[in-house]
Amino acid sequence: MATEQFLNGLKRSAATLRAYRADLNHLQRWLLERQQDLDAPALEAYFAAHEWAASTQNRKQTAIERFCRWARQHGKLELDPTLHLERPTVPPPHPRGLRREDVERIFAVIPASQARDALLFRLVFETGLRISEALNIHLDDLDLTKGDEHLTVLGKGGQRRTVLLDDPKLVGALRKYLRSLEYEHGPLFQAQKNGRGGPLRYQSVQERWQRYAAQVGVSCTLHKLRHSHATELVNGGVNLGTIRKRLGHRHIQTTLRYAEVSDASADAELRKWRRSRK
C-alpha cells in the first residue's frame, strides 16, 4: 500500500492526516498478517472482524475509500474494492433538553416591559411548539374557554393540530397579554418596529432569546425549549403516543428519540409497577 504517497498529496488538516495514516496502517497490518490482497472480500472480512461503533467504522471507511479511489486513478489498483461496501447507519443523537430550573433562570431576566417575549418563550417551553408554529399563531386560533383552554397550530406538512394549554401560569400570562393588545385579529405575536405591527421574524426572536440566555450564562437554543418540554413529558410517564400528538410528529420513531428517560424516572416507574403486583 502506497499510504505515504497518498497522504502527501492530500490537502487536509494535520489531525485528519494522522487519523487517515492510523486507519490505513491498521488495515495494511491486518492484510499482511493474513497474507491477503486489498480486494472486496478482504475488506468485507476486515470490517466484519472488528466491532467498531458506527461512527468509527464510517471514519475508517472514508479513509479507505479515498485511498482506493486515489490508487485506482494512479494505476495501483485495477478495481476499486470499496464500491459495494455498505455504510453503517449512525443513529441520530438523543435530543437534549434543559432542566426547568435553568429555563426559569432565563425567564427571570426578561424585563416586565417585554411581555411579548416572555409569553412567546414560555409558550414554546410549556407546549413544545416549534418556534415557526408559535410565530404563526393568530388570535383566531385561540380558544380560552375556562377549563378547556387550547390553541390550533399549523404544523409541518400543513397539518393542523390542537394543543392543550394546561399550565395555569401560561394561561394567566396569555390572558393578561391579550388584554394589553390593541387589535383583535392577526398574529398573536407582532413586531413593534416603527410602531407598526407585523409578523415576527425567526432570526429576530432567536437573537433576543440568545441575549437573555447569555445574561445568566446558559447555552440554550430556542429549539431546545421544545426538547425540554418533550423530555419532561417522557420523564413524567406520559404515553409516547400522547407526546407524539402533542409535538406534531408524523412518525412515532421521531418521538422515540426522547425515550431515554433518566435513571430516577425509570426506577420510580419500576417501583410503581412492583407495588401494583403485591
- Crossing angle of helices 202-215/100-108, nearest 10°? 100
Q: Which of 211, 229, 221 is nearest to 124 (CA)?
A: 229
Catalytic residue, candidates 130, 150, 245, 257: 130
Q: What phi and psi, each to the nearest 5 degrees, are found at residue 152?
A: -110, 130
Kindly list the distances between the CA atom of residue 176 and the CA atoms of 115, 119, 179, in Å, as whole numbers in the listed order. Answer: 9, 10, 5
Question: Which stretch of DSSP H or E encloses residue 18?
Answer: helix 14-33
CB under 8 Å to 1, separation ≥6 — which residues?
Answer: 24, 27, 28, 31, 38, 67
Q: Which of 123, 271, 117, 126 is nearest to 208 (CA)?
A: 117
**Residues forming beta bridges with residue 161, ordered by sequence position:** 153
Separation CA 246–CA 164 (nearest Å): 8
Cβ–Cβ under 8 Å, residues 97 and 229: yes
Catalytic residue check, 223: yes
Separation CA 132–CA 248 (nearest Å): 13
Q: Which three cell numbers stand for residue 166?
A: 394546561
Catalytic residue, candidates 18, 96, 223, 271: 223
Handedness of CA 148, 257, 101, 226 (dihedral sign): negative
Catalytic residue check, 156: yes
Catalytic residue, candidates 116, 208, 226, 246: 226
Q: What phi and psi, each to the nearest 5 degrees, are found at residue 160?
A: -90, 145
Catalytic residue, candidates 29, 34, 156, 175: 156
CB atoms within 10 A of CB 233: 19
Catalytic residue check, 249: yes
Catalytic residue check, 226: yes
Known catalytic residues are 130, 156, 223, 226, 249, 258
